[in-house]
Amino acid sequence: MKRSKLAAFAALVIAAVVLVVAMVSGQQATTPGSALSTTPAPPAAVSAPANPSALPAVNASQLPKEARQTLALIAKGGPYPYREDDENFGNFEGLLPKKPSGFYREYTVATPEASNRGARRIIAGKDGVKYYTPDHYESFKFIVEDK
């Protein structure tokens, strides 16, 4: 009787391990006692990054045309009209999610009525998230890009 309980316990442990491995690797487990499925998972759809902050969101299409132009420049990697563009953004205000130094880059959004760079910026993270500030880092909105 002890041997059958031990065998049942061992089978339960093995099934739990198979399930955990399947969950971690993203594969589906097959019937109990068999190996993991070798059928590859379908390719994941490319999607825009989710909002990792508690900041309000704005659709890119709702941004000023100059901000949409800056987003297009960021997507193609430049060239940028201001020498300060594509530089490190330190997040000293602490309004964006905390990340290591060098994670965020800063880009100017032209302000037609300004005699200098103006106050508008887009901040881009290495993970693809982007934020818009119309007021030189006083406030931010997470940009939902139209993909």
Q: What are the DSSP calls for 73-102, one per residue?
A: HHHHT---SSTTTTEEE--TT--SPP--TT
Chain centre distance of CA 46:
12
Chain centre distance of CA 70:
19
Are 48 and 145 in contact by the 8 Å Cβ rule? The answer is yes
Q: Which residue has the tokens 């759809």?
A: 45
Strand partners, 123: 106, 131
Of 66, 106, 138, 145, catalytic = 106
Q: Is 106 a catalytic residue?
A: yes
Of 113, 136, 138, 145, catalytic = 136
Q: Is 136 a catalytic residue?
A: yes
Q: Which helix (H) or strand (E) holds 5?
A: helix 2-25
* 3-state secondary structure at position 130: strand
Active site residues: 106, 136
